[in-house]
Chains A and B, each alone.
Chain A
Amino acid sequence: MQQFERGVTERFRPEVPSVGWSWRLIVFSTIVAIAAVLLYAGMEYGYRSVLESERNSLEQELAQVDMSINAADQNNLINFYSQIYNMQNLLRDHITISNLFSFLEPNTNSKVQYTQLNMNLDSYSIDISGTAPSMDAIVNQLEAFRRQPMIAGLVLRKADSNQGGDGGTLNLAPENQTPASGFNFTINLTLSRDFFKQL
């Protein structure tokens, strides 16, 4: 038999470990390196280029769409829209100055006459100077103003005794009588912000 022909030394020789280059390890690491290089090249020169091309195409299309409206028409439309928008806001805050007279005339005591009026809408305040035959008339006038919801503040700046009439008076109510003597007064009214809104 063949197996009986081999020597004892050969049959019981210890297994010799494979020595030399470790090719499996080198091949594995090389495959990893090649995969990394390919991945990088694909991303940098493939996918990125495609995305950049797509972005440029979108930008061009966007510019074309934006230019599809005539610039003059666009400007006119913006101008028109701005006018409507601004008008809406201006009319919302529009001052109806006739409200001042509509307020003062029915709320002026028949014994009181005004000599001067200063209105300033920066502070929404009115200084009214006038004459009254008695302190009671001034008190009644102050009370008449105080009862009005459109008056936010009321101050009697002064009330001095005078010696007879002193010139013209502002005749808001035709039935008012010019007092021969009495008091000069100045009242300061602070108006509410809605005072001059359209009633």
Chain B
Amino acid sequence: MRASSKRVYSLLLSLAILVGSLLIYMLLITPTYDNIKLLRSDVANKSQALNEHRDIVQKTQQLINQYKGSENLQSTLTLSLPNEPYVSQIVADISGLASLNSLKLSGISTEVQAFRSFGDAPEYVKSVGVVKTTARAKGKYEDLRTFLTQLQTIVRIMDVRSLSISTVSGSKGASADYDYVFSALSYYQDKSQPVLQAK
């Protein structure tokens, strides 16, 4: 082989090896490095998450210990905001208060409405269900006044949303009877909502 040919072949061989190296860099090293960068970021995030979860678990454990010591508060809260519609309690409350205040209850109906949640509620807070109760009654004005005042302060939260008062025909004077129609909203907490798992 002539010396000049050897030089040309040397140059071509070196060039081929360098091009091969460049291809290794572009096709193998660069994507692997990108993957490694992602992995390092993932590991750093998980490491931070682990520290945060340890902290959360520790605080949660403290809260659980406190929560286990507040059974009276829990039972009161469950009466005010039960984990089911508990319609019988609503009807019993309205009927009992009406009877206590000499109001004649002539009709009552309930309607379970859609769940709702408060706008700024954290995602793990359970939704609130609404029961709308509509009732008709007859009685004296003072009795209705006392009835509604008591209704707003009973343990189960009730919000009167509408009220109609009209005179009973033929009934006159200070002791006249009136017809009342009112609707009130009561609330309960959704128990079926799944518990969120930590991410």
Contact = CB atoms under 8 A, between A and B. Distances in A.
Contact of A40 (B32, B50, B148): B32
B82 to A, nearest CB: 9
B126 A82 contact: yes
Chain A facing B: main interface SS: helix
A72 to B, nearest CB: 10
Nearest to A75: B195
Interface of B: 3-4, 6-7, 9-11, 13-15, 17-18, 20-21, 24-25, 28-29, 32-33, 35-36, 39-40, 42-43, 46-47, 49-50, 53-54, 57, 60-61, 63-64, 67, 74, 77-78, 80-81, 83, 118, 121-122, 124-126, 128, 141, 145, 148-149, 151-152, 157, 159-174, 176-178, 187, 189, 191, 195-198
Interface string A101-137: 1000000000000011111111000000000000000
Nearest to A61: B50
B170 A167 contact: yes
A168 B166 CA distance: 9
Interface size of A as a range: 35 or more
12 contacts: A26-B13, A32-B18, A40-B28, A48-B36, A59-B46, A74-B60, A79-B83, A98-B152, A116-B166, A121-B162, A170-B178, A171-B141
B50 A94 contact: no
B6 A98 contact: no
Given A58-B47, A98-B145, A33 B17 contact: yes
B160 A97 contact: yes
A78 interface: yes
Given A62-B50, A77-B63, A167-B167, A86 B14 contact: no
